[in-house]
């Protein structure tokens, strides 16, 4: 019998123990990991590639929705959300055909959720999971205008970098390189997409392959034909692109 590899994610030890105890009664489930928070969850999902996760919605720092965003809705396994949301909010889970367990967890409801997950996995009916997960995020998670942290992957390690720590960003083939203090990190993204996610009051694109954190700007020196040399607080010197002259002038005017 092939086991259904499962990860339990909840910041409450009692809740994790309860879910594990229930799964121990199911012969075809194997718990391959337990996570206390969203950060651990992202790493566990990517490392273990489980078939199913029990995902607590309300966790400090990185909540259940943040886990889905960090992993990517298209890469998520089958999900049973664990939540203390009120019944009005739970309608969104029903609308998007995503299963949930309401705390405190009812034994009969747990059994039904597990059976539904089992059928879904057996049928390999996960093709539209990313669409349903994204729809749920759009309904329940308040939209954030600008990203506050970047998810950095290095091998099996997952770390989170506050955008306030970023000095500047440069294009690097199919990646962008994030410079923060003495460290640099590769992020699989495009300059155009990352620029949209960053706060324009804090970040300015000065070149087709460079974005700076304006709060780290120390000095700006005119060059030729409307170009400038920019010096950051750490001593980094960067030249602006000719096509970005208006943006630099806007910075100089103090309107950005």
Give me the long-range contacts of 97-106 (CB less than 8 A, separation at least 24). Answer: 97/132, 98/132, 98/133, 98/136, 101/54, 103/15, 105/15, 105/18, 105/19, 105/22
**54-87 confidence digits (pLDDT tens):** 999 988 778 888 899 888 888 899 999 998 876 6
Residue with tokens 């992957």: 153
**pTM metric for this prediction:** 0.63
Domains (range + CATH), the chain:
4-140 (3.40.50.2300), 149-252 (2.40.50.1020)
Q: How confident is the model at residue 144 (pLDDT cuts 50, 70, 90)?
A: low
**121-141 confidence digits (pLDDT tens):** 887 755 677 888 888 887 776
Q: Give the chain's mean pLDDT.
A: 87
Q: What is the pLDDT of residue 256?
A: 45
Q: What's the rounded Cα separation, in Å, for the pair 149 and 64? A: 16
Q: What is the pLDDT of residue 141?
A: 66
**208-232 confidence digits (pLDDT tens):** 999 999 999 999 888 877 788 999 9
Q: What is the pLDDT of residue 233?
A: 94
Alpha helices, DSSP H, located in 38-190: 38-48, 64-71, 87-95, 107-122, 129-140
When pLDDT is averaged across residues 163-170 and rounded to a whole number, the result is 96
């Amino acid at each position: 019998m092939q086991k259904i590899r499962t990860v339990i994610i909840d910041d409450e030890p009692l809740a994790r123990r309860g879910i594990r105890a229930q799964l121990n009664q199911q012969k075809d489930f194997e718990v391959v990991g337990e996570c206390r928070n969203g950060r651990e969850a992202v790493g566990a999902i990517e490392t273990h590639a489980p078939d199913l996760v029990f995902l607590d919605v309300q966790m400090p720092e990185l909540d259940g929705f943040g886990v889905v965003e960090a992993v990517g809705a298209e890469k998520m396994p089958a999900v049973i959300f664990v939540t203390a949301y009120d019944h009005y909010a739970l309608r969104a889970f029903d609308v998007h055909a995503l299963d949930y367990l309401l705390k405190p967890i009812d034994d009969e409801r747990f059994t039904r959720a597990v059976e539904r997950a089992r059928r879904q996995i057996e049928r390999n009916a996960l093709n539209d999971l990313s669409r349903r997960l994204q729809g749920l995020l759009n309904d329940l998670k308040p939209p954030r205008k600008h990203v506050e942290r970047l998810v950095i992957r290095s091998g099996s390690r997952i770390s989170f970098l506050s955008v306030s720590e970023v000095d500047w960003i440069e294009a690097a083939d199919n990646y962008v390189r994030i410079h923060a203090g003495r460290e640099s990190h590769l992020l699989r993204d495009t300059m155009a997409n990352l620029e949209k996610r960053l706060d324009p009051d804090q970040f300015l694109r000065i070149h087709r392959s460079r974005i700076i954190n304006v709060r780290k700007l120390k000095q700006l020196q005119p060059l030729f034909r409307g170009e400038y040399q920019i010096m950051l607080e750490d001593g980094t010197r960067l030249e602006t692109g000719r096509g970005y002259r208006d943006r630099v002038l806007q910075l100089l005017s103090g309107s950005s």
